[in-house]
Structure 1
Amino acid sequence: MYPKTNSAGRKTTRTLMAIGLIAALFSCTTQKEEGEATSNERPNIIFIMSDDHAYQAISAYSDKLIQTPNIDRIANEGMLFEKAFVSNSICAPSRAVILTGKHSHMNGLVDNAVKFDSTQMTFPKILRENGYQTAMIGKWHLKTAPTGFDYWKVLPGQGHYYNPEFRTENGTVLDSGYVTDLITDFAIDWLEGAKKEDKPFMLMYQHKAPHREWLPTEENFREYTTKEFPEPASLFDDYSGRGTAAKEAEMRIATHMGVTSDNKIHPDIAEKMRYENFLTWYPNAYHNNLDRMSKTERAAWEAVYGPINEEFEQADLRGEELTKWKYQRYMQDYLASIASVDENVGRLLDYLEENGLAENTIIVYTSDQGFYLGEHGWFDKRFMYEESFRTPLMIKWPGVIKEGSRNTDLVQNLDFAETFLDAAGVEIPKEMQGKSMLPLLKGEQVEWRDALYYHYYEYPGIHAVKRHNGVRTDRYKLIHFYYDVDEWELYDLEKDPHEMNNVYEDPAYAEVKAQMHQKLDELVDQYQDKVVVPSK
């Protein structure tokens, strides 16, 4: 499955595939006969991360929206984490936390406007210093050049879906093709060289998809634009059970999602029908995205989206009917973009298996944060509410992780760096703030954390999600919204898993509230976060 032919003409013939497979099998057999490949070898590490991939859109978690058989392979052959979370639900800060093993206030990258300090310690640098080959391919999004890598090829900023540019040490290059396919092509190309070296490798293989504005491939948009998806129960949430922050956030599908850039309606049609663009750049984004396509790609796109535009113009939808339509269009393109990620993850997994590389390789699949798929009427992320705070996580490591296992401990993106260093037998720097998940991967019964700390900073800013920090235990969540407000929210996740009713002022929860305030104080002190004083 792993070879891919795209519009750039990146072709791998069946003959070359067969030769490569025979050579790999011969090499693998020879290694085992000579006693070189043993369980004591340091593992290879492949860290697969997509952008904005909601756990609700992975069939290993739920099959209500999509089937993701290849991503599911990692869970089926390894461990699925049911309570994995982030420390700051926004792209660049999440990536900085993963690299450094430190919270945003400690690594310095608190929001998307800040540049990453690439001189600081990261786990790729440490692995490289300890004999690993290291590579970073795909979405970087940290404004500075990657450091700590033998090889890197990354998208500038958010990158583009069609015919994207890539930054390299030698400058920026334009590649023809679809971004998810290209990132996988480059990853496999690098692995071809890495497997020949007599030392382990660490590859960060990171996708742009399914980040906004969700432009799928022809194969997938032809399929998914014919599908209809179930609406979440809270699609028309009125936020009556919460405070100012939820009411004032600007990420509602009804009023803040663009019918042009997001739902792919031509700006001329939207203007004629007097559909307002919430942000002035929406029409430009529509043109910038579609104008990158080749004539062939654009013709295929218009063959499907042209009739959608015509039907939309004739329907003249308003109010709730428009919101329902926008939700379906959102899901069609978002999930179609994920379908391509799943296909390409399958290509990479097949390559590893067919080249004798799967046996001693840790494979991680995750996202930089969660995402709203219409819950509370929203798209995007940022909040400490579950759909944004929680992220998918599955890890495969043959011979170490029991196949088909599930974990319910509170883990966080703060823990990746420590886990990789521990697995590689490298000392974990004391300044890192997370915990190695290695005991959990081995199925050991260990004392683990009982609470997670969260802090979001990007306000004022796009989507207008107010600054907040908070603590989550296995059952409860306490959130403090601050800066231009001073509001508290407390949720009983056992009784109210969708966080519809704030019980902070409920006398029945007085003792719980006091305990959660104490726990929040403890975590603020533990992680040395003195930006705000959270407790009353």
Structure 2
Amino acid sequence: MKNNVLSSLLLPVAAISSFTGCVAKQKDNKPEKRPNIILIMTDDHTTQAISCYGSRLMRTPNLDRIANEGMRFDNCYVSNAISGPSRACILTGKMSHINGFTDNSQTFDGDQETFPKLLQKSGYQTAMIGKWHLNSDPQGFNYWSILLGQGDYYSPDFNENGTIVREKGYVTDIITDKAIEFIGNRDKSKPFAMLYYHKAPHRNWMPAQRHLGIFNDKTFPEPKTLFDDYSTRGPAARETMMEIAHHMWDDWDLKIATPEELSGTYDNKRAADMNKAEIERANQKNRGMESFRAAYNRMTPEEKEVWNKAYAPRIKEFKTLNMKGKELVRWKYQQYMRDYLATTLAVDENVGRLLDYLKQIGELDNTIIVYTSDQGFFLGEHGWFDKRFMYEECQRTPLMIRYPKAIKAGTVSDALCMNIDLAPTFLDYAGASIPSDIQGHSLKPILEHEGKTPADWRKAVYYHYYEYPSWHMVKRHYGIRTQRYKLIHFYNDADYWELYDMKKDSNELNNVYGKPEYKKVQEDMTRLLLEMQKEYKDTDPTEQNIKFFKGDDGANMH
């Protein structure tokens, strides 16, 4: 991407755009300078891997900086813990059944109102850079450059305002380069709003060259529930397919594949025993290997050499130790953490690079900087990887906001907030009208009062997951979470309830639904659930017209 190309896309639009929003006036009658807005979002980044949330796994100094110089939210939850639907909720400020994007097999209706469109109408320059993952082209942006589908870690392809381009290098670095270039080439007379969305640390967790093997000598602490037997919950926990023990692929996930396997070649003796059709069938036998081979072959020869050297000890160890049972699970968990966390290092570095650039050009303190993820993720808790459940590790998502003009540094909020709250918050600070059909609430009263929760704030967050049958086979369910309790109803091919006392059972191991001592709590939670379903217009949740999963080519590996 060349500077003059980006400039040609931005400046003509900026020149003809008109400001229609209501802006406060300073005493000299000049319009008050409105804040820039940057929403930083990662894919599958969980609070367990962020040091300002108390992570025992790694340090994230640049992400911590946003929290330390702004506000950290300890109870932010997504309304649907899967990538595309979560992104649609953020864009629209509405729940999945309202915005129409309930699962990843669907296509986002870009004609509907979104907060970038409303900001653009009110005079903001808008940009979408990175992982879009909504199966339709972005609308409401002066400039956009999005990854194709899930995107690739090495030499990724981008759709740049309708033109497909392949960029050399590592995806997290490239997305940041594009973000910095957009900021540098913008019309500086107008505020900007940029969605800066990373692929990382999404499966299959391929670290940057500079981070390969960086955690090889570290042993990470195991979660207490790594060997959960699921005996205290209903069939959803037992029947899901996201166990490290049984569902993590040796090649795609654990990188246990030799250079010969990844190049698609065979030794002479093996090839001599196979005809062309048999070789082709062998190549197609393992979807994980095929996907990993495609990702690996995007690397340059020099990158492959560094990669091969970094993973050779792991491959040798796996092939020689002959591990079984819990020993093998523990070994897989360590490899998983080494790759996931190494991939996250590049995110932290690049967020720091963006913050430093904003400071250098004098825009840091005039920019609302938000860091979040499309949902949380299991890092071995309950023996799992992936997300989708209403359980805490993936329903809860990180949220930190820095804006020194309005937010006191180092503050923490325990208010129950949701990803649908971001849209009205941005509109509120931009001085734009918030449409009455937006279901989220502006966080401005919390941000500007040192994290204190207003008396009329919501008492619970609502959740609804639809994508079943599909990847990882997590059953459909909906429910609510208050400060202390969580109520979940699994439905569709099941009909059972779970209730957790989060104060006594933070790991969600003891389902107390139906127990006499929780009768009053159960009644109150059920009543509140019905009230929230009415509020969010999800009054017949088990009868939604949900499209069944129809499969894909395997490349997404959700």
Give the 5 Å matches for 1:421-460.
Answer: 421-443=427-449, 446=454, 447-460=456-469
Q: Is the Cα contact below 8 Å between 1:115 and 1:142 reproduced in 2?
A: yes
Deviation readout 1:287-320 (Å, 9 max, x if unpaired):
1111111000000001110122112111111211
- In 1, the alpha carbon distance for the partners of 2:236 and 2:69 equals 41
Determine if the alignment matches structure 1 residue 325 to structure 2 residue 331. yes
Query: Are residues 1:214 and 2:205 paired?
Result: yes
Mean CA deviation greater in 367-376 or 168-177 = 168-177
Query: Equivalent residue of 1:365, what SS?
Result: strand
**1:510 alignment partner, one of 519, 527, 537:** 519
1:220 deviates by 1.1
Contact 2:413 2:453 (8 Å CA) reproduced? no
- Give the whole-Å Cα distance in 1 for the aligned partners of 2:31 and 2:340: 40
Structure 2 residue identity aligned to 1:527: Y
SS at match of 1:167: strand
The runs of at least 4 aligned residues of structure 1 exceeding 3 Å deviation read 35-40, 267-271
**Are 1:225 and 1:333, in contact at CA under 8 Å, matched by a contact in 2?**
no
Q: Give SS of 1:203's match.
A: strand
Structure 2 portions without partners, runs of 5+: 4-26, 267-284, 544-558
| Corresponding residue for residue 294 of structure 2 | 288
Cα gap change, 1:118/1:331 in structure 2, threshold over 3 Å: closer, same or farther?
same
Which residue of 2 is the match for residue 366 of structure 1? Answer: 372
Aligned to 1:110: 102
- Which stretch has the larger CA shift, 478-487 or 316-325? 316-325
Distance 1:514 1:41, change over 3 A: same
Aligned length: 498
Q: Deviations over 1:403-452 (max 9, x none)?
A: 00000000000100000000111110011101000011101652211011
Hey, what's the Cα distance between the residues in 1 that align with 2:164 and 2:389? 34
2:141 to 139, 149, 158: 149
8 Å contact 1:125–1:147 — kept in the other structure? yes
Counting only pairs closer than 5 Å after superposition, residues 119-518 of structure 1 correspond to structure 2 as 119-194=111-186, 196-266=187-257, 280-443=286-449, 446=454, 447-518=456-527
Cα deviation, residue 37, structure 1: 13
Q: Deviations over 1:237-261 (max 9, x none)?
A: 0011111000101000000011110
Matched-pair contact (CA < 8 Å) for 1:239–1:246: yes
- 2: CA distance between counterparts of 1:151 and 1:226? 43
Which amino acid in the other structure matches residue 126 of structure 1? Answer: L
After superposition, the C-alpha distances for 1:445-496 in whole angstroms (9 at most, x for unaligned) are 5221101110000001110000000011110000000000101000000000
Q: In structure 1, what is the equivalent of residue 56 of structure 2? A: 64
Query: Following the alignment from structure 1 to structure 2, what is the Cα–Cα distance between the partners of residues 36 and 345?
Result: 36
> CA–CA distance in 2 between the matches of 1:412 and 1:371?
16
How far residue 192 of structure 1 moved from its aligned partner, in angstroms, is: 0.1
Please provide the CA RMSD for this pair.
2.3
Report how far residue 63 of structure 1 moved: 3.3
What is the rounded CA distance, in whole Å, between the counterparts of 1:37 and 1:187 in structure 2?
A: 33
Equivalent position SS for 1:382:
coil
Write the letter of the residue equivalent to 1:428. Answer: I
Separation of aligned partners in 1, 2:537 and 2:365: 40
Q: Report the AA paired with residue 512 of structure 2.
A: V
Question: Match for 2:79 among 77, 80, 87?
Answer: 87
Q: Cα offset for 1:269?
A: 8.2
Contact 2:47 2:55 in 1 (8 A): no
Deviation at 1:530, TM superposition (A): 3.4
Structure 1 portions without partners, runs of 5+: 1-7, 11-34, 272-278
SS of the equivalent of 1:152 reads: strand
Distance 1:38 1:375 in 2: 54
* TM-score, length basis structure 2: 0.86
**How far, CA to CA, are the matches of 1:373 and 1:402 in structure 2?**
32
Counterpart amino acid of 1:76?
A: N
Once residues 215 and 138 of structure 2 are traced to their aligned partners in structure 1, the CA distance between those partners, rounded to angstroms, is 36
Q: Counterpart of 1:507 in structure 2: which amino acid? A: P
Would the aligned equivalents of 1:269 and 1:313 in 2 still touch at CA under 8 Å? Answer: no
Report the Cα distance in structure 1 between the residues aligned to 2:397 and 2:298, rounded to whole angstroms. Answer: 31
Please identify, of 310-319 and 67-76, the stretch whose mean Cα deviation from structure 2 is larger.
310-319
Shift of 1:230: 0.6
In the alignment, is the contact (CA less than 8 A) between 2:207 and 2:342 conserved in 1?
A: yes
Aligned to 2:16: none
Counterpart residue number, 1:527? 536
Distance in 2 between residues matched to 1:149 and 1:472, nearest whole Å? 35
SS in 1 for 2:40: strand
Taking structure 1 as reference, are residues 346 and 477 closer, same or farther at Cα in structure 2, changes over 3 Å only? same
* CA apart distance, 1:42: 1.2
Moved more, 40-49 or 69-78: 40-49
1:222, CA displacement in angstroms? 2.7
